[in-house]
């Protein structure tokens, strides 16, 4: 048993490592993620082609399954759907990595992939619940659960891909768990594919562990998520469905909790639920003084503990589920106690949220308007005038912007812009195509500290996105002396002639 495990693990690992190494050597994918994004933790140009290496290890493993296993273990519609759906998920992410698709279009494509998988037999048709008992036929509800399962796992892996090595490490642990579950259930196809995928992710991690030389991108995240969802359903065919599905869910407890709190946090602030921010658990650990590498290792340990809990639930056929849920509840209570949360603080938070939601929405609209004005601006001097207008409308009373050695300042008359005892202050480094230092001030009378921090983040993101857009349109960096390149079409010239900077 040990030799086949090592063979498929090393095969997937070598195939993935070799493909990624080759892509890096020829410079493929340097256009992907060319500019650092405002909420990302990395700097510099890092290609998002790691998913190509992962699918290479996955494909090699699948082909060997196809030729080595007999018809009772392979060559069924269900098993074709595992590979075909994985390729489709990979291609969806690969296109999005280089030619960004809208969130709605990606969600629609994911739903279609999940529905096809359901029709091919990768489905939740029956369920065994602790209290209700065994439900042999879920009908249309089963299709809904199946689609939700695939879409949720694919997006969950993608959402935690915010730190070097994090998503890959969590995916590696889950593949190891699925390989163990497949061996216990006697499902050769599932076991081999999980081992091969574990090897493929391991080969990718050689290039991705901090400091990363390559990212898996959406292509790798969607592929890993799809394979996790599919193999979990295959393992469930020969046992209690709930136990086979709860095991990977518990192993993903950390990212599930992180994403849940992120969506709650954004909802309270009036932000779009899927808007990136810097309040995820790994951001908090980094701000607490952990290095990127140590942050990843801490999250690995937490995920490993959750994975062991999932295996206990599977091995006990859910008998330990209540104990684990109770333990998780106690941990949450202790965490909330450490945050000094009380009824009064919750009431204050809700009150602050209701008052701040309109301000947040207004700031987001101003950000989008400002970025759209880049196409019409004839110089950065005039664009800076528009930015001052945006800051004023957001409630900022004073600002300092430094690009290189050049410094620009502005203040709003008849405000407390000079009395720093009455002001909130935020200093940000603008990332993207226009590296800059931005210092913003707001009057304490009109902002809570929490809301001022959020407004400053949106204001900083506005200038960062404008810098990226300026470089796309004018093929030059955003500095105070920059002017827009000449336009050729009459419509563009007319649009620029109508541009009126808001001095």
In this prediction, residue 34 carries a pLDDT of 45
In this prediction, residue 343 carries a pLDDT of 57
In this prediction, residue 338 carries a pLDDT of 46
Paired tokens of 493: 């010239």
Class of CATH domain 358-497: alpha beta
In this prediction, residue 4 carries a pLDDT of 75
In this prediction, residue 109 carries a pLDDT of 93
Paired tokens of 461: 């993101």
Report yes or no: 472 and 485 within 8 Å, Cβ to Cβ.
no
Q: Which of 128, 223, 129, 117 is nearest to 167 (CA)?
A: 223
Q: Report CA-CA distances (Å) from 133 to 230, 249, 423.
A: 24, 20, 60
In this prediction, residue 88 carries a pLDDT of 94
- The whole-angstrom separation of Cα 397 and Cα 419 is 11
**368 CB-side CA count, 13 A:** 5
Q: What is the pLDDT of residues 117-156, one digit of tens each?
A: 988 888 877 666 555 555 556 678 878 888 998 998 888 8
In this prediction, residue 49 carries a pLDDT of 83
Q: Could you list the pLDDT tens digit for every one of the 503 residues in the chain?
A: 667 788 888 988 999 989 888 888 877 765 444 455 555 555 556 787 888 999 999 999 988 877 777 655 555 788 888 899 999 999 999 998 888 787 788 999 999 999 999 888 888 776 665 555 555 566 788 788 889 989 988 888 887 776 777 888 888 888 988 888 888 777 788 888 999 999 999 999 888 877 778 888 889 899 999 999 898 888 776 444 555 567 777 777 777 777 777 777 666 666 666 666 666 777 677 777 777 778 888 888 887 887 777 777 666 655 666 666 666 666 555 555 544 555 565 566 666 666 677 788 888 899 999 998 888 888 888 888 899 999 999 989 999 988 888 888 888 888 887 888 888 888 888 876 567 888 999 888 888 787 888 888 888 888 888 888 888 888 877 788 888 887 777 677 777 777 777 76
**Residue-by-residue DSSP string for 229-282:** HHHHHHHHTTS-HHHHHHHHHHHTHHHHHHHHHHHHHHHHHT--TT---S-SHH
List, in order, residues 6 or more apart from 323 with CB less than 8 Å away.
none
Q: Which of 68, 63, 59 is nearest to 4 (CA)?
A: 68
Average pLDDT of the chain, as a whole number: 78
Report yes or no: 434 and 448 within 8 Å, Cβ to Cβ.
no
Parts of the chain belonging to CATH 3.30.450: 358-497
Model confidence, pTM = 0.74
Neighbours of 290 (CB within 10 A): 16
| 409-422: burial string, b at 16+ Cβ within 10 Å, e else | ebebeebbbeeeee
């Amino acid at each position: 048993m040990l030799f086949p495990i090592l063979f498929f693990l090393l095969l997937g690992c070598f195939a993935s490592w070799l493909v990624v190494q080759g892509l890096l050597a020829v410079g493929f994918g340097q256009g992907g993620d060319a500019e650092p994004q405002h909420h990302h933790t990395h700097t510099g140009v890092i290609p998002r082609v790691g998913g190509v290496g992962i699918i290479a290890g996955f494909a090699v493993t699948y082909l060997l399954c196809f030729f080595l296993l007999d018809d009772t273990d392979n060559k069924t519609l269900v098993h074709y759907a595992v590979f075909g759906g994985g390729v489709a998920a990979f291609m969806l992410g690969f296109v999005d990595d280089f030619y960004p698709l809208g969130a709605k279009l990606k969600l629609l494509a994911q739903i279609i992939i999940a529905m096809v998988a359901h029709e091919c037999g990768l489905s939740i048709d029956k369920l065994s619940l602790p209290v209700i008992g065994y439900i042999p036929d879920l009908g249309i509800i089963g299709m809904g659960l199946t689609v939700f399962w695939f879409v949720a796992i694919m997006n969950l892996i993608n959402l935690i891909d915010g730190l070097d090595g994090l998503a890959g490490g969590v995916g590696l642990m889950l593949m190891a768990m699925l390989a163990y579950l497949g061996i216990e259930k006697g499902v050769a196809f599932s076991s081999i594919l999980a081992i091969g995928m574990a090897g493929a992710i391991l080969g990718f991690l050689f290039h991705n562990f901090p400091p990363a030389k390559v990212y898996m991108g959406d292509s790798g995240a969607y592929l890993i998520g799809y394979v996790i969802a599919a193999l979990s359903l295959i393992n469930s065919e020969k046992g209690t469905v709930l136990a086979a599905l709860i095991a990977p869910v518990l192993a993903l407890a950390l990212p599930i909790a992180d994403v849940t709190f992120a969506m709650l946090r954004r909802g309270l602030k009036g932000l779009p639920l899927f808007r990136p921010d810097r309040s995820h658990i790994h951001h908090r650990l980094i701000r607490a003084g952990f290095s990127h590498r140590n942050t990843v290792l801490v999250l690995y340990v937490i995920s490993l503990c959750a994975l062991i809990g999932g295996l206990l639930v599977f091995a006990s056929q859910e008998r330990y589920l209540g104990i684990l849920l109770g333990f998780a509840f106690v941990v949450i209570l202790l965490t909330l106690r450490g945050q000094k949360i009380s009824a009064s603080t919750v009431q204050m938070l809700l009150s602050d949220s209701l008052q701040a939601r309109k301000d947040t929405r207004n700031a987001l609209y101003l950000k989008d308007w400002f970025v759209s004005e880049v196409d019409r601006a004839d110089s950065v001097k005039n664009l800076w005038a528009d930015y001052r207008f945006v800051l004023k409308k957001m409630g900022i009373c004073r600002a300092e912007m430094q690009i290189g050695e050049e410094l620009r300042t502005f203040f709003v008359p008849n405000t407390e812009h000079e009395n720093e005892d009455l002001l909130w202050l935020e200093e940000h480094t603008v990332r993207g195509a226009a590296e800059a230092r931005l210092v913003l001030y707001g009057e304490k009378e009109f902002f809570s500290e929490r809301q001022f921090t959020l407004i400053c983040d949106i204001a900083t993101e506005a200038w960062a996105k404008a810098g990226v857009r300026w470089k796309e349109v004018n093929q030059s960096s955003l500095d105070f002396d920059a002017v827009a390149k000449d336009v050729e079409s009459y419509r563009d010239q007319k649009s620029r002639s109508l541009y009126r900077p808001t001095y």
